Chain A
Amino acid sequence: MKSKIGFFLAAYVSLFAYAIYFWVEYARKLQSLSFNEFTTTFQRYALLGSLLVFALALWEHKRAGTPHPISADAGSKTWTAVVICLLSATLALSIYVNPHARISAHRFPFVTPSARSIKLDLYQKLNSSPDLAVFGSSRAFTISPAYIQKKLGYKTFNLSVESGKMEDAQTFLNLLLASPSAPHPSVILLELSASDLIRTISVDDGLLPISLVPYMSYSMKARTITSTMRDFWGMQSLSDSVYILANSVLGPSAPRTWSFEQDGVGVRAPTDTKTYNEEMKRVSNYVTIELSCARINKQSAAFLEEIVATAENAHIGMVIYSSPVNNWLYDEAMKRDAEGVSHCKKVLRSYMSSLAASHPNVFFKNLSYYPPVSNMKERGFYDGIHLKPRASELVVDALSSELIAAYQWSQER
């Protein structure tokens, strides 16, 4: 019994002492709880609380004598009831607050990127199918459907999403084709960077909304279900939900970088020069990866070809383009690896030419270094890669002939 008392004394004293120590050394010194600081503090105290529950559970076993003993069956039923109650409560909170945009509820702001969920909702609210859909990453956020309609007359919807990967393109293509009897867009404008063809095609599991499951491939469906389960019953989701609720009570949270209009176009608050410079510094670490590539990844190429073939069978023209990068970024890449950059251009051009040769619905234009946009620097970019609206208009101008050709190809079928 001596060692038992020793353990409980050590456990309780150390847990309470640590809670106070953590408060004094960390939490108390925080001026205001930013998102990351809140997460650290919440999760640390949640861990201490859980360890306390652990100690109490052990104590219950070792406590001598009991006034109200229960049977093994009743014990198991108690365990099951508590587990079901807590699982349900956690699930209800995750669904109600929906901090990671896993479902289509918009009661509160999200703490993670959420374009997939938001754009799916917006798309499903459209009265009629658009003529043109924009796919791609956040580099295509500012491609304006209104500008395309004004310039070319095509009704457009922007379905580009943050950290967009080729799996997104496949999923959204399935969404467009979901109802075979209804009309679907004639053209897809796909923003594709070299890294899409040399690195992963897979969307980060944390960004997969469950509302897109009907349009996903089987492997993506399985990943979405398991990652959503981990998310709904995860400490991060719990801590983020509490953060959001606290903010909604205490005051509005900081606005997200991007918001989206009815046609899917992304809107971002203007950035000052200081933020711009900081962003440039941040992206400088991946300039070489961005613009240089040894060879096309076979798996990525096969995946793209599958998407292209599906579109071709549905008589959808595809305009694939590489979005311009800031001249500063391009110069940095050239300084670091000029040979790699020029090799990458060749590899990409050669691959896309062969793709276009075998699929008549494909039109390609590499705008990764496009002087009218790239040279705009701060006037055209929020950072190294994200275009301001005017720069996006110039991109649409540059792609006009391809868009018209793709549209005509589709209409002729």
Chain B
Amino acid sequence: MNLISHEFLLLFLPFTFAAYYWFTKTPRQKTFFLLVVSYLFYSLAGLKFVPVLFGLSLATYALAKWNKFGWGVLINLAALILFKYWNFGVENLNLIFSAFGAKMNLLNFGLPLGLSFFIFKHIGYLLDVQQKRCAPAADFWTFAAFSAYFPQISAGPISGYKDTAGQFDALPNKLSGERLYAGLIFLSMGMAKKSLIANSIGLLLAGKFNSIEGFSGFFPAWYLVIAYTAQLYFDFSGYTDMALGVSMLFGVSLPPNFNNPYLATDPAGFWNRWHISLSTWFRNYLFNPLSRGFLKSWGSPKREQAQYAANLITMSLIGLWHGAGWGYILWGAYHGLLLNFHAWWKRLNRPLPVYIGRPILLFSVVLGWALFMSPNFAYLNHLFLQLFGFGGLGSLDALKALSLESATPALIFGLALAFSGFSEAAALTDESNGRRVWQMALWGALAILSLLFLQKNIQFLYVQF
């Protein structure tokens, strides 16, 4: 099931919400209820992978209990490799084996929904317990509810056990007016970003336009990558706002994932604002130990090299986390290089003014998305040739046809919003200006308009990662 679907918004959410406050009274009952509806939500996406989720949750819980943290991490990573990266590895090995006439078979399991997200929650939990940053889960059911918690199972945000499951012990019997109010704004804002902006652009990008034969010339190519940039951001931040809003309705706060990323002025700032929960996870559990390790073995004089190496490895793995493909790894490594270049520049102590830093960053990030969005080398080659003007400027007819697409007004509006400073729902819950009736009436109307535009259902892009 998809968070932005009629089934979820008109059936699953209202019924579970009503039942949650109607039938459950104590935090314990509420946690158990969340566990049941989370597994129901997961099974509606397909029963096939329910045992995978349950099995990994049980193994993680048990191994943490028995202080076998290494085994816990290993089992989770093994599942991640098996389901997500095995075929990628085999395909690459087969390129070598083919020279010797040998061939390994591919596996045909499919990818469990939200695998990368819940496995990262498990690994984070194991490492936190090992390093005594949090106490082990008191019982399996609480841990299982944390692991499968339905608002975040499909695409995060990746939260820590202490932060999320910690709230399960104090789930309110009655939802406060403030939280309900904030939850509804998050939900409406997320729906509008996904349905009105991301999907309107996505309909164009899902068609022939986004293919080697579909576009040629400088302007169409830049339209394409900018449109993808906007789609990805509004799609994922829309999903996150919805997940946060839905979770608030059940009395649980989840960490934010975005903070106006296109207002950043340098690569480090961008990664502090984009997919925050993932970059925080990698910083805590990979970058910090890695840079400490390099520093220890290489010594203080090589402090800079340690940072560069840790950046490059961490970012390449962030790329790989997104999917099993060289394009993702290249995109990650490219961001590693951007971070290293920025670290080097910073050491020169020659700060750039915002009006120079931001355009340079935006140009670099958009080029990065060109790498990210390319399904193969032929497409990537074509796209870059067009982006750098080797295919001419593009025909006027093609541009006019693009301008008449519904993606164009959505893109213009989206770009204005992305640079406005309040494109995240979190920015709207500051009520220093006071609440007005019209404010909530407009959000209610917007939620329904977004629902009406959901006909051609375009999945959240990050669900596939």
- Please give the residue numbers on chain A whose beta carbons come within 8 Å of chain B beta carbons, in ascending order: 3-4, 6-7, 10-11, 14-15, 18, 21-22, 25-26, 43-44, 46-51, 53-58, 60-66, 68-76, 78-83, 86-87, 90, 226, 229-230, 233-236, 238
Contact = CB atoms under 8 A, between A and B. Distances in A.
Given A79-B184, A229-B7, A6 B441 contact: no
Most buried by A among B177, B400, B422, B437: B437
B416 A7 contact: yes
Given A65-B434, A75-B439, A234-B455, A54 B413 contact: yes
A18 B452 contact: no
Nearest to B7: A226
Contact of A234 (B181, B422, B452): B452
Nearest to A71: B177
B448 A83 contact: yes
Contacts of A87: 10, 448
* Chain A interface main SS type: helix
Nearest to A22: B404
B444 interface: yes
For the complex of A and B, the 7 pairs showing the least CB-CB separation, nearest first, are: A82-B444, A7-B420, A69-B434, A72-B177, A66-B434, A57-B442, A72-B181
Contacts of A236: 455
B436 A66 contact: yes
A299 B290 CA distance: 53
Given A11-B417, A78-B444, A234-B455, A53 B449 contact: yes
B177 A230 contact: no
Interface in B405-433: 406, 408-410, 412-413, 416-417, 419-422, 428, 433
Interface string B7-31: 1001100000000000000000000
21 contacts: A3-B420, A11-B417, A18-B409, A43-B406, A47-B409, A50-B450, A50-B453, A51-B196, A54-B446, A58-B422, A69-B434, A69-B436, A71-B177, A72-B435, A74-B437, A75-B437, A79-B443, A82-B448, A83-B447, A86-B444, A90-B452
Nearest to A48: B409
Contacts, number: 178
B437 A68 contact: yes
B416 A51 contact: no
A30 B393 CA distance: 30
B192 interface: yes
Given A51-B196, A61-B428, A18 B408 contact: yes
A75 B417 CA distance: 24
A128 to B, nearest CB: 40
A3 B437 CA distance: 25
A62 B457 CA distance: 32
B139 interface: no
A261 to B, nearest CB: 34
Interface centre among B403, B436, B447 (most CB of A within 10 A): B436
A53 B408 CA distance: 17
Contact of A51 (B404, B413, B428): B413
Chain A CB within 10 Å, residue with most, of B10, B438, B439: B439
Given A4-B421, A62-B433, A11 B416 contact: yes
B200 interface: yes
A82 B440 contact: yes
B278 interface: no
B422 A80 contact: no
A7 B10 contact: no
Contacts of B443: 57, 79
Contact of B445 (A21, A70, A86, A238): A86
Nearest to A81: B444
Contacts of B441: 78-79, 82
B178 interface: yes
Contacts of A22: 404
A47 B455 contact: no
B420 A47 contact: no
User: Which among A22, A46, A53, A64 has the highest number of chain B CB atoms within 10 Å?
Assistant: A53
B415 to A, nearest CB: 8
B196 A230 contact: no
A50 B439 contact: no
Nearest to B452: A235
B322 to A, nearest CB: 29
A242 to B, nearest CB: 12
A25 B184 contact: no
B177 A79 contact: no
Contacts of B421: 3-4, 7
Contact of B439 (A4, A7, A48, A61): A61
A14 B452 contact: no
A99 to B, nearest CB: 13
Central interface residue in B410, B422, B455, B457, by most chain A CB within 10 Å: B455
Contacts of B200: 47
Given A6-B420, A22-B404, A72-B181, A47 B410 contact: yes
A71 B180 CA distance: 12
B178, B184, B404, B440 — most chain A CB neighbours (10 Å): B440
B440 A75 contact: yes
B376 to A, nearest CB: 28
A83 B455 contact: no
A6 B421 CA distance: 11
A101 B4 CA distance: 26
A76 B184 contact: yes
Nearest to B179: A72
A78 B406 contact: no
A70 B410 contact: no
B333 to A, nearest CB: 33
Contacts of B433: 61-66
Contact of A76 (B6, B180, B410, B447): B180
B444 A80 contact: yes
Contacts of A82: 440-441, 444-445, 448
Contacts of B420: 3-4, 6-7, 58
A79 B444 contact: yes
B454 interface: yes
Interface string B301-325: 0000000000000000000000000
Most buried by B among A48, A61, A74: A61
B265 to A, nearest CB: 14
B451 interface: yes
A70 B435 contact: yes
Contacts of A21: 403
Given A47-B200, A87-B448, A75 B409 contact: no
A367 B163 CA distance: 69
B448 A79 contact: no
A61 B196 CA distance: 19
B180 A72 contact: yes
A53 B180 CA distance: 22
Contacts of B11: 229
